[in-house]
Structure 1
Amino acid sequence: MTLVAGIDAGTQSVKVVVYDPAARLVVASASAPLELISGDDGSREQHPSDWVAAVQACFGRFDAEVRGRIAALAVSGQQHGFVPLDADGQVLAPAKLWNDTSSAAECGQIMDAVGGAQRCIELAGNPILAGYTAPKLPWTRKHRPDVYARLATILLPHDYLNFVLTGRTFCEYGDASGTGWLDVRTRQWSKDLLRATDPQRDLSACLPPLAPPDALFDVAPAIAAQLGLPATAKVAVGGGDNMMAAIGTGCVAEGRLAMSLGTSGTLFAYSDTPVVDPQGAWAAFCSSTGGWLPLICTMNCTAATEQVARLFGFSTREGDAYIHATPPGADGLTLLPFLNGERTPDLPHGKGVLAGLDPHNMSPAHVYRAAMEGATYSLKYGYDAFVRAGLRFERIVLTGGGANSAAWRQMVADVFDLPVDVPRQAEGAAFGAALQALWSLRRAQGDATPLSQLVEHHIATDPALAAVPDPARATAYRAPYQRFLHHLDAVTPLYAG
């Protein structure tokens, strides 16, 4: 009768699922919205207290009997954020998020301090990109000096929720990879990069200890009472949302490719060994399962389609009709959807560009299609880098809010010319966190089943949501994709500085 829970603290909402592993059934789920604080300088922030309130609201919607049977839970959190705590564990300022580009200039400053981007990749496996945690520290030192002076602990969003749940500070390798400070090959903090971030201070003293993938912690008594959990409940180490989505989509063995169509878009593939690109074409992250997770991230996915839908006064739930009313390529209309700057390609100062307007394609349907195509082409741009490196895939497992769109599922199948599967559990990150909690709990009880076997047992795809490439449409998308790349080449010099 044991249940496990997964918490996914995303950019737009917090979602919680409660899973019955014996029945292989999600028995309860809830979500609560979050507000985003946006600034003209590219800042994107949230109050960590809002995450806690959203978690409490979600658990408050579950029956007491369900909450009382939860034996373990884990947190999935948006990556790269920066939560500053003082010596008493109090939050000092709003959390700067993954899509915050206000510290883009600090990226170059850190890399220059160690000898450039190439040296940065040699030291840690990744360049320092806009949105990563590392540049948020010198930004805070400059713009919030009082906060920086009182800074005692650096936490990521998922670390902070773990701190609330357990009263302890710790980090794990997958999420730590997105700080820019972790050497992904050795799984150790890079002293050189920490020194380059702040040569006047030992930032390693502010970083929490790194916990192994199967670590379990006791839930704090006060929070257990607030959430209605048993006092004996355990908190697994959790991880970044992409790492948990990898578990929730079965991307825990080599040869599998997962794609998330969320506010940001991601592509990730499991590897037993580090997969580092010398040019930094992808993020060479650790997984939250003891392996590695090479990852492509775009900053504008459903963020772009939702913005266009709002502009023309309709909901994305109605969006498929607009896609069906227009042909592949949107009759020559191309949208570079870099509304929040962009990470892939690396254009933190990028802006959205709409090109090819004429009297025949100046319609809401065409612009909406161009937004969906642009978001998909951005992911294809990153996928091409995987392919050039010799990685090969047979299918795509799709998750995230965009996967609810039949038109988008078919577009992905056609643009990538690969079959698309969709897991029955739509909330891949929350479900992945629940499965990690289950695996960690069972290991603590003496069960040595590998995580890959446990995941294979609990994950199923929905045949009704599958999509296969249509040869005619796959061909029809090739020229528009090349047009996208040509426009990208043309505007890159405008936004590269």
Structure 2
Amino acid sequence: MADKSFILGMDIGTTSVKVCVYDPKTKEIVAKQNKDTAANIPSDQGIEGNKQDVPKIVSAIHYCISRLPRDVLRSVTKIGVCGQMHGVLLWKKGAWEKVEKDGVVMRFEATRENMSALYTWQDTRCKPEFLESLPKPDSRLNCYSGYGCATLLWMLKHKPEKLKNFQYSGTVQDFVVTMLCDLDIPVMSDQNAASWGYFNTEKNEWNTDILKSVDFPVELLPKISRSGEFAGKLKAAWNGIPEGTPVSVAMGDLQCSIIATLETKEDAVLNISTSAQLAFVVNNVTDLGCKTVEHLPYFNNTHLVVAASLNGGNVLATFVKMLQQWMLELGFPTPQSKVWEKLIALGLEAKTSNMQIIPHLLGERHAPTAKASVENIDLSNIQLGSVFKSLCDSLIQNLHHMMPKEILRNANVKRIVGNGSGLSRNAVLQRAVEHYYSLPLEFTSGGDAAKGAAIAII
């Protein structure tokens, strides 16, 4: 392997960490690992809060890296990092340590007492009234609950002492890059900064004056770098990866999953995992006359046109859990895999009914108070397969409402490339996509954000 040069890609997601070693010459993944983080922790905000324990996430990263072949890791020449956008954690000096054995760094560990929890993108503590009370950002992009700057502004109002305890802030992937490179000041990509709100994507800078006007501690904000650039170098050899290996500034998981999936400019990507996103790449920002679509920073000064719904695989998973719970209460415990299998089989046989489901179980960023509802229930459409088909249809109908097929047609999109386990394992959803968008849906071998993080820094 001496003459090989590989890239390590890392995706620090909402539920799991995924890593892969990518060979840029053959465009193949040489090795990969993943691990569920099981990092969720209770919040004092009850169901409105959504927090994760960062040391557990760092531990999952170590688990993955330590299980990759050493001879492969010795040939890693660059590290690309991406992760869940919008979230924020705070830390101060001493937030991590290197665990050594016989003078060799075995792993990095996060130090819980010198950091806050990660407040994730799913956090809903910022109510519409609170968001309306905030100064208007100088940005094309809105600021919603769960976005880093909104969460920090909420703390400024409700828990100001918490902010005074810390020196730095960033997404969890920014923290990991800072730790690996032992940076004095965290560096954040334009992709992650845009996901926090109060960031001007044209000027590539924070809205510092606007934030200062409400006494926001702007010194907490990270420095900005373009996605695809490097934040620093690996401070110490790590499981065989040489010391001094360049580490990318952390990028957005959405952008990285798309760079790994897109084959031509005529593709749109539909990702359905926890939530759902439909996106395609454009060179310039234009008004599409649609408030539910946003232009996000992509790579090489291009933009991603995105409709991002909070309701995706999570809604279907909740439906499955509800059925499981009912079965348990009736005295017939059923494994989750069996429920899924049966639902998909029944859903494929079901005819289209007039049942109308609004799937806003988690609201939407543009309609945070929206709830789910069902209409037009009658004796002909209450079979399990029919209800499941209506639910799958409703998720795609909801996305279509956010990004109508005319937008894709006008952008010369010729096919939709599917991505995410929520879509790849569910043929009922796949049929709904082709029905609502009148475009072929295809799956390619790409789609992995960890692979995308490697591709983005070739």
TM more than 0.5 = yes
Q: 1:332 aligns with which of 354, 375, 399?
A: 354
Q: 1:417 aligns with which of 403, 424, 438?
A: 438
Residue 412 and residue 154 in structure 1: after superposition, are their counterparts in 2 closer, same or farther (change >3 A)? same
What is the correspondence of 1:298-337 to structure 2 with a 5 Å cutoff? 298-313=309-324, 314-315=336-337, 318=341, 319-328=343-352, 331-337=353-359
2:453 is the counterpart of 1:433: yes
CA distance in structure 2 between the partners assigned to 1:385 and 1:281 by the alignment:
13
Residue 421 and residue 193 in structure 1: after superposition, are their counterparts in 2 closer, same or farther (change >3 A)? farther
Amino acid paired to 2:351: P
Amino acid paired to 2:349: A
Q: 1:7 aligns with which of 3, 7, 10?
A: 10
Counterpart residue number, 1:375: 395
How far is the alpha carbon of 1:385 from its aligned partner? 8.3
What is the correspondence of 1:459-478 to structure 2 with a 5 Å cutoff? none
Counterpart residue number, 1:470: none
Amino acid paired to 2:11: D
Q: 2:121 aligns with which of 98, 102, 113?
A: 98
Counterpart residue number, 1:177: 194
Q: 2:271 aligns with which of 235, 238, 260?
A: 260
CA distance in structure 1 between the partners assigned to 2:41 and 2:436 by the alignment:
34
Mean CA deviation greater in 37-46 or 272-281 = 272-281
How far is the alpha carbon of 1:395 from its aligned partner? 1.2
Counterpart residue number, 1:284: 295
Q: Structure 1: give runs of 5+ residues left out of the alignment.
A: 115-119, 440-497
Q: Secondary structure at the match of 1:221?
A: coil
Amino acid paired to 2:201: V
CA distance in structure 1 between the partners assigned to 2:161 and 2:47 by the alignment:
20
Residue 126 and residue 79 in structure 1: after superposition, are their counterparts in 2 closer, same or farther (change >3 A)? same
CA distance in structure 2 between the partners assigned to 1:193 and 1:308 by the alignment:
43
Counterpart residue number, 1:361: 381
CA distance in structure 2 between the partners assigned to 1:181 and 1:21 by the alignment:
36
Counterpart residue number, 2:64: 58
Q: Secondary structure at the match of 2:121?
A: coil
Q: Secondary structure at the match of 2:282?
A: coil
How far is the alpha carbon of 1:303 from its aligned partner? 0.4
Residue 249 and residue 202 in structure 1: after superposition, are their counterparts in 2 closer, same or farther (change >3 A)? same
Deviation track 1:111-157 (CA, whole Å, cap 9, x = no partner) reads: xx33xxxxx4xx21022222222210122224433311223222022
Residue 268 and residue 326 in structure 1: after superposition, are their counterparts in 2 closer, same or farther (change >3 A)? same
CA distance in structure 1 between the partners assigned to 2:26 and 2:340 by the alignment:
31
Q: What's the TM-score once normalised by structure 2's chain length?
A: 0.84
CA distance in structure 2 between the partners assigned to 1:154 and 1:217 by the alignment:
15
Q: Secondary structure at the match of 1:304?
A: helix
How far is the alpha carbon of 1:388 from its aligned partner? 9.2
2:95 is the counterpart of 1:74: no
How far is the alpha carbon of 1:218 from its aligned partner? 4.4
2:364 is the counterpart of 1:342: yes
Check conservation: 1:4, 1:73, Cα contact below 8 A.
Answer: yes
Check conservation: 2:177, 2:231, Cα contact below 8 A.
Answer: no
How far is the alpha carbon of 1:41 from its aligned partner? 4.3
Counterpart residue number, 1:451: none
CA distance in structure 2 between the partners assigned to 1:280 and 1:232 by the alignment:
45
CA distance in structure 2 between the partners assigned to 1:434 and 1:388 by the alignment:
28
Q: 1:32 aligns with which of 28, 31, 35?
A: 35
Q: Secondary structure at the match of 2:179?
A: helix
Q: Secondary structure at the match of 2:308?
A: strand
Output the aligned Cα RMSD: 2.5
Deviation track 1:419-477 (CA, whole Å, cap 9, x = no partner) reads: 122221342x111111113x2xxxxxxxxxxxxxxxxxxxxxxxxxxxxxxxxxxxxxx
Amino acid paired to 1:60: S
2:257 is the counterpart of 1:235: no
Check conservation: 1:238, 1:436, Cα contact below 8 A.
Answer: no
Q: Secondary structure at the match of 2:18?
A: strand
Q: Structure 2: give runs of 5+ residues left out of the alignment.
A: 96-110, 325-335
CA distance in structure 2 between the partners assigned to 1:166 and 1:333 by the alignment:
54
CA distance in structure 2 between the partners assigned to 1:37 and 1:25 by the alignment:
37
CA distance in structure 2 between the partners assigned to 1:131 and 1:255 by the alignment:
32
Normalized per residue, the structure richer in helix is: 1
Deviation track 1:397-427 (CA, whole Å, cap 9, x = no partner) reads: 2211123223333321222111122221342
Counterpart residue number, 2:91: 85
Mean CA deviation greater in 283-292 or 411-420 = 283-292
How far is the alpha carbon of 1:278 from its aligned partner? 7.2
Deviation track 1:237-274 (CA, whole Å, cap 9, x = no partner) reads: 241111112211127x7544211111111122212223
Normalized per residue, the structure richer in strand is: 2
Q: What's the TM-score once normalised by structure 1's chain length?
A: 0.78
CA distance in structure 2 between the partners assigned to 1:334 and 1:278 by the alignment:
26
Matched residue count: 418
Deviation track 1:68-107 (CA, whole Å, cap 9, x = no partner) reads: 2222121121110011123555653211111211113432
